[in-house]
Amino acid sequence: MSLPASRLVLYALPAVPLAALTLPLYIIVPTFYSETLGLSLAAVGTALLVVRLFDAFNDPLVGWAADRWRPGMGRRRATFLVSLPIAALAALMLFWPPVDAGPGHLVFWGAVLSLGYTAAIIPLTSWGAEMAGDYRERARVAGFREGFTLGGTLIAIALPFAIGMETVEGLHGLAGLGIAVAILLVLLGGLTVWRVPEPREYSRTRLDLRDGLGHMTRNRPFVRLIAAFLINGLANGIPATLFLYFVSDRLGLPELRGPLLFIYFLAGIAGMPLALMAARRLGKHRAWCVAMLFTCAVFAFAPLIGEGNWPAFAALSVATGLMLGFDLALPAAIQADVIDVDTASSGEQRSGLYFAAWSLATKLSLALAVGLAFPLLQSFGFEAGGDNDARALTALAVTYAWVPVALKLGAIGLMWNFPLDETAQRDLRSRIEATG
């Protein structure tokens, strides 16, 4: 049975402010801290990598706690509600740093923000996965959430550039974004907790953390999916991290950084219905692979675009942006299916722990993109906003485009013949619901 669209909208609303804590965080914050605050690229990359090491311990514990805590209002709603003030405060502090902020400020508030974001996104995604048991309906739930995520991403990109980020003093664009995120997290998140019911739980037993992790590592579809997701996330994270530098230094179009980024994510919203339609026709994993193949074919031409050729790069941004909805909605919907494998075998519905691994893979891929790309470019003599020679700009172009293409091909190899299709998932749900 299809869920009402009104319920899906209410469920997806918090994705708008949470969107500012994902890709924009790794696109805009490193640039602001390096160009405006004056920190080195290596220092910014190292600081964000330290935050991700914190995540390696933080995310599994939050996921485990989100599954085990069962207050009267429901485990998903309660954990999500607790996270909102933590994430709101950390976003404000990280996006509005003092003029003398150093790497320590970035590490501390980045870690607090990571904790708050994890405590929000794990119950929210688990909530969505448990709202529907049907193979296709799960894609619809994920599509609503990720569609709102893209809408929030557009706001998170437009607002800082509209206000300006040339100085760290006063109410600059990144500070304005921090204020907006803090307010919307509390308001929209509270509305979701108030109006969206807690999903039904199908647990028959309870496992300790060690046994739960054992079932997870033996869940072969999950291991295969998370590996592909991590590789593809790194492939997406590298150009996301380097986008502003590529447009400014390689293309020589710093004034078009905001508009081109906006076009990319706007195309992502337009591509979301394409992703859901392709998933219905081809199956979720095969539709995702086709989208990645298309992205590789288009993105391979990025280093060949000449300086100042903004129409060609805008066309490339639209073409790859249309595939963004596939990358956001379909893997998350497949993740809900691989959780069924564990629920059927272990007897406990532990979506929180699984989405903790998902969250960790997401953040690790983006942090690796910063931690690897920035020092690599620095080794070739690239300086943000500096006078870069041909060697440095070539290194920027190759790292921006051809390295991600190679990574995506690896992800496609893992997912093309993925074993969990609609028929297999329907059999799993029948077993779970018969015993739940």
Dmax (CA) for the chain in angstroms is 66
- Rounded Cα distance between 113 and 25, Å, is 11
Tell me the residue type at 70. Answer: R
pLDDT, tens only, 217-248: 999 999 999 999 999 999 999 998 899 889 99
Write out the two tokens for 213: 């992790």
- Rounded Cα distance between 356 and 335, Å, is 11
- Closest alpha carbon to 69 in 216, 210, 206, 189: 206
- Rounded Cα distance between 138 and 192, Å, is 19
Please say if the pLDDT value at position 385 is more than 80.
no
Do 59 and 357 touch, CB atoms closer than 8 A?
A: yes
pLDDT, tens only, 58-97: 888 899 899 999 998 999 999 999 999 999 999 999 999 9
Do 285 and 221 touch, CB atoms closer than 8 A?
A: no
**pLDDT (0 to 100) of residue 366:** 77
- Closest alpha carbon to 63 in 331, 351, 367, 334: 351
pLDDT, tens only, 396-407: 999 999 999 999
Please say if the pLDDT value at position 355 is more than 80.
yes
**pLDDT (0 to 100) of residue 94:** 96
Please say if the pLDDT value at position 142 is more than 90.
yes
- Closest alpha carbon to 270 in 335, 320, 330, 334: 320
CA angle in degrees (0–180, nearest 5) for 157-174-231: 55
> 244-260: buried (b, 16+ CB within 10 Å) or exposed (e) per residue?
bbbbbbbbebeebbbbb
Burial of 378 (0-12, 13-18, 19+ CB in 10 A): middle
Do 121 and 359 touch, CB atoms closer than 8 A?
A: yes
Average pLDDT over residues 108-129: 95
pLDDT, tens only, 279-338: 999 999 999 999 999 999 999 999 999 999 999 999 999 999 999 999 999 999 999 999
Cβ atoms within 10 Å of 281's Cβ, excluding its own? 8
Phi first, then psi, for residue 305 (nearest 5°) are -75, 125
- Rounded Cα distance between 139 and 290, Å, is 16
**pLDDT (0 to 100) of residue 28:** 84
Confidence bin at 368 (pLDDT 50/70/90): confident
- Rounded Cα distance between 110 and 52, Å, is 9
Q: Where are the domains of the chain?
A: 8-200+207-435
Please say if the pLDDT value at position 362 is more than 90.
no
**pLDDT (0 to 100) of residue 46:** 87
Write out the two tokens for 81: 């509600």
Q: CATH for 8-200+207-435?
A: 1.20.1250.20
- Closest alpha carbon to 233 in 20, 23, 18: 23
pLDDT, tens only, 14-53: 999 999 887 667 778 888 998 899 898 889 888 988 887 8
Write out the two tokens for 41: 């690229």
Q: Cβ contacts of residue 2 below 8 Å, gap of 6+?
A: 137, 140
pLDDT, tens only, 173-232: 999 999 999 999 999 999 999 999 999 899 888 888 788 888 999 999 999 999 999 999
Please say if the pLDDT value at position 436 is more than 70.
no
Confidence bin at 1 (pLDDT 50/70/90): low
Which residue has better confidence, 180 or 361?
180
**pLDDT (0 to 100) of residue 23:** 67
CA atoms within 13 A on the CB side of 216: 22
- Rounded Cα distance between 41 and 26, Å, is 13
